[in-house]
Amino acid sequence: MKITEGYMPFHDYQTYFRIVGEAKKNAAPLILLHGGPGSSHNYFEMLDDLAQEGFRLVMYDQLGCGQSSAPDQPELWQAQTWLDELTELRSYLHLDHVHLLGQSFGGMLALMYLLEKKPQGVQSLILSSTLSSAKLWASEQHRLIKYLPQAEQEAIVVAEKTGNYSEPAYLAANAHYMALHAAAPVTKDSPEPLKRAKINGEQSYMTAWGPNEYTPTGTLRNYEYTDRLAEIKIPTLITNGTDDLCTPLIAKTMYDHLSNAQWKLFQNSRHMPFVEHHDEYINLLSSWLTEH
């Protein structure tokens, strides 16, 4: 399996990219937009199996995390930075015709890219465990919090009221919440891409989103695109899990507002169905990319 790695100059910084596989019959590559903001491409290596089926994958670490530059410049951490970076990446790598997959924040980035930049050459869109409304996301997270033990609920309420997110009781409650709805803690038995050390973009996450998943206070806090989803005409696949941070209501809201969408809900899955239902997810993407 062919793997090409490199760095793209971006302003005064560098963006790391990783290209896997070789396309069959000039098929358009799949650009993978990771979450966070401030995560990394690592977990997308779980999708490398697609390359064995003749698809080319393009993944990268967004500015602020992973192997890309992570400058101490809070003013950078806003949507425009990552939109410009994606635009530049397509130009730098000559990606004229592509499919886009955005997971979590990556899906937000994909939607903003399509609706604000109106790019040419995007053949299909895959929205993986993502959102079209920060308000709905926060509301749904607070609904899920009500299923936590009472003491953990209270610890979260206190943290949000005081703005102190360092108390042990809050940290334990948030960790439990994330284990229920994001992903299981990493262990020695976890897939290698998940347990590999990485540089998280804590500053970019805190500045752009907030202290946790349910308190959007950053530059993305006014992210609201639900009412514009009908402008997207390309085929769109929505995926999420029944126990996901992206709840069925969040996914259905996007599905209801898109004019050309399909929706796959993975049973007993959290925020990364491509890990927890790996083979089924690979088969779904393979069929989707072949069809579109």
Residue 40 has, within 13 A of its CA and on its CB side, a CA count of 22
H/E run at residue 92: helix 79-92
The catalytically annotated residue of 204, 244, 257, 277 is: 244
Here the tokens at position 264 are 């796959």
What is the per-residue DSSP string for 209-266?
T-SSTT---STTTT-B-GGGGGG--S-EEEEEETTSSS-HHHHHHHHHH-SSEEEEEE
Q: Is 142 a catalytic residue?
A: no
The Cα-based distances of 25 to 21, 52, 91 in angstroms read 13, 14, 22
Q: Is 97 a catalytic residue?
A: no
The catalytically annotated residue of 41, 257, 271, 277 is: 271
The catalytically annotated residue of 104, 128, 132, 269 is: 104
Burial 6-42 (b: 16+ CB within 10 A, else e): eebebeebbbbbbbbbeeeeebbbbbbbbbbbbbbbb
Q: Is 11 a catalytic residue?
A: no
* Residues belonging to the active site: 104, 244, 271
